[in-house]
Amino acid sequence: MKRFFCASSTLLILFLALPYVNSGAFGEPESLVNSSITHLFQLRVIFVGFNESVVNTDLINSTIQHDYSFIHGDYTINYNFNISYHFADSSYHEALKTFILANSVNGTNTTSSLNTTALQIQRSTGSKMSIFLPQSGRAIDAEAVETWFEENPYEAESTDSYQFYVMNFTEFDSPNHVLEHWYNVTELDHEANRNRDFWRLEWDNHLNPNVRFPYSCFTSQSRIFFIDPSAFQWYLTWTRIWWGLSVSGPKYDYYYEDLDQFLMTHNVGTIEGKEDLAYYLAGWIDDALTNLLAPDLWTDLDLAKASSLSIQVLVLNNASQSGYSEESISWIVNSSLAVQFIEDLAPFLETEVTVEFENISDYPLLEAIFDGAVDEKRDGWIYYDGNAIWGGLYALRDSYFDLNAADVVINAYVYLEKNMSMMYAGGEYTGLGGGGQILVMKELGRYFSGSASRRSGLGLVLIHEAGHNLGFPHTFIHGNAYAGDFAFDVMGYYPYSYSFTQMRKDAFHRLVVDLRILELQNQLEEDLLLYNRQNSTETIDAEFDTIHLRLNETLQLYDEMNYLLALENVIEAEALEIELQDLLWIYLCDFTGDGKVSIFDIVIAAGAYGATPGDSNWNPDADLIEDGEIDIFDIMIMVDNYAKKWRE
């Protein structure tokens, strides 16, 4: 799944206040704000089980990216991270170790390891084959460890910031790597109602049963990300080989070695060894910071201001040709689940998900698009050109979906067929999402285990691709950064999660609030220019003050990381601004200054009707739209505000 076409902390927000004059008229119009906003976040990195004398935090800090700037239309949003480094004492380390031992299972063949030779053959030949081997060791409950960190922060003040815990538990592993440790998550397929035990992408088939997924990092529903470089994991090796990543140099050594192996090949008692260790640890930290705390979301203002979302799913049932009835596959999409997890991300969006199962033979135009996009048939398997299908379907979307059903509409085509793959950019993909559309081509056999037993549904794919449409990139960067994909987030490739992590929800909520603040400030600037056309008045000054106060409250809530409450506040401020705008026009139409627009004001405007500058009856106050002529449009504004009051 991928993006198509074309995703209490201390905050400082640089906000220019409304430039009020204490009394009398405003001076020359001046800009209310710049079209940018800047935030400073606190990130605490706590090392657990490390000797402080061998960790060069200055070099780590200079290696990590701290500042991020993102362009959204006319607005620039800057995220800056102030990173502090701390070393947990031995008692904290021992307490965590005791907890881990009590919340783990140590045994034989408790996870899977990667057969790199088989993977390389698969990548070069495209053969579908087994690429996993069994691995023994200690499986640690990742969610329990995250909760422990929440309940036992190393320092109490760390709860007002984001926290990365970097752990060293090489003591859990045997020198020959026969026994390893890792972090385990129970991954549930909600539609099939069974735990995941398979690898879900290109080789998600019967050749790789009972695959287990070792995590070396983890975050879910907290503002904590823990990193254990000493933990066993095969995912970064898979990404390096499968995607052909160009990852080399000390900063990317974590793609090749866990901490045990690193310490066997580097002498951290030397200056050079300490430098290499700093780069090694910085690689883990920098990846998570970039991809989880400061992702480049492409959410726009229209989406940020939306209040309703409609996802309309059309399942094209070609499964009947493979012996599956509509009844036997109806479980694959649970619309209420999709609503649940999307509203967890965006409770401010009223979300509706509708699903229709239709026989594709009843849709000849759509059927022709799929038939015409067969790229290759090989060994009984059909490979479709996803790019061609996407474009053909997109051109017809308004014929099959109600694109006016909500503020934001996402249409989804789901194609069911046996023994097929969708090809895009040289790879096999399950789904594409973006531009208001989703295309899912998940091979029919992947929904079932055996002939009829449920294996995996469609909800996770649907939510993932909807996330792209809402502005989310993956939890990694294509090309060189995948460690962030250990986050238990629906936007990853690695985890089997239906939900968005708290860190990614924060990023989305922050951006929505920022865009609305910037747009509101832009509107207020226009209001101020309008207001400056007349002398100031205490009544309207008070309205500006009320909005200003509400914005300050919004920023305070933002500073406290209460982003949803901040959003409620800025929405209330927007409503006040609309009222202010109405009030300003009434004020400008009140030529007599009696607090309302009366027949006497209409008479004054009528007396200047048709006048231009230089005419004896020219009245600049009556030129309400400021086009150099008092015409019917100015009179219409007067009539529209007739009998309205701007003060009692």
pLDDT at 628 > cutoff 90: yes
Distance, CA of 315 to CA of 393 (rounded, Å): 13
Question: In this predicted model, what pLDDT tens digit does every residue of 308-319 receive, in sequence order?
Answer: 999 999 999 878
Q: Please, is 169 exposed, middle or buried when counting C-beta atoms within 10 Å of its C-beta (0-12, 13-18, 19+)?
A: buried
Residue 15 banded pLDDT, cuts 50, 70, 90: very low
Check residue 128 and give its pLDDT. 80
Check residue 9 and give its pLDDT. 26
Which of 34-38, 60-64, 423-427, 608-612 shows the lowest per-residue confidence on average (mean pLDDT)? 34-38
196 secondary structure, DSSP code: -
Check residue 28 and give its pLDDT. 32
Question: In this predicted model, what pLDDT tens digit does every residue of 174-194 receive, in sequence order?
Answer: 988 899 999 999 999 999 999
CB contact set of 440 (below 8 Å; sequence gap of 6+):
412, 413, 414, 415, 430, 431, 458, 461, 462, 465
Residue 518 banded pLDDT, cuts 50, 70, 90: very high
> What number is the average pLDDT over the span 63-85?
96
The DSSP line for 436-493 is TEEEE---GGGGEETTTEE---SHHHHHHHHHHHTT---SSBTTTB-GGGGS--TT-S
pLDDT at 322 > cutoff 90: no
Residue 258 banded pLDDT, cuts 50, 70, 90: very high
Residue type, 270: T
Question: In this predicted model, what pLDDT tens digit does every residue of 88-125 receive, in sequence order?
Answer: 999 999 999 999 999 999 999 999 999 999 999 988 98
The angle that helices 364-371 and 386-395 make with each other, rounded to 10 degrees, is 160
**Architecture of the domain spanning 301-470:** 3-Layer(aba) Sandwich (3.40)
Question: In this predicted model, what pLDDT tens digit does every residue of 573-587 receive, in sequence order?
Answer: 999 999 999 999 999
Which of 199-203, 385-389, 435-439 shows the lowest per-residue confidence on average (mean pLDDT)? 199-203
pLDDT, averaged across the chain:
90
Distance, CA of 43 to CA of 236 (rounded, Å): 25
CB contact set of 326 (below 8 Å; sequence gap of 6+):
317, 319, 320, 357
Residue 6 banded pLDDT, cuts 50, 70, 90: very low
> Residue ranges per domain, the chain?
36-293, 301-470, 507-640
Check residue 7 and give its pLDDT. 27
> What number is the average pLDDT over the span 372-389?
93
Where helices occur in 497-624 by DSSP H, the ranges are 502-531, 538-559, 563-589, 599-607
> What number is the average pLDDT over the span 599-614?
95
H or E stretch at 316: strand 308-317
Question: In this predicted model, what pLDDT tens digit does every residue of 465-487 receive, in sequence order?
Answer: 999 999 999 999 988 899 999 99
Q: What residues pair up with 439 in beta bridges, in sequence order?
A: 413, 432
Q: Which two tokens stand for residue 613?
A: 């500058």
Question: In this predicted model, what pLDDT tens digit does every residue of 537-565 receive, in sequence order?
Answer: 999 999 999 999 999 999 999 999 999 99
Ramachandran bin of 49, using left for φ above 0, alpha for ψ from -120 to 50, beta for the remaining angles = left
pLDDT at 513 > cutoff 70: yes
Q: Model pTM greater than 0.85?
A: yes
Ramachandran angles phi, psi of 630, nearest 5°: -95, 105
Check residue 204 and give its pLDDT. 59
Question: In this predicted model, what pLDDT tens digit does every residue of 345-377 receive, in sequence order?
Answer: 999 999 999 999 999 999 999 999 999 999 989
Check residue 388 and give its pLDDT. 97
* CA 286 to centroid of chain Cα atoms: 18
Distance, CA of 242 to CA of 236 (rounded, Å): 10
Check residue 211 and give its pLDDT. 87
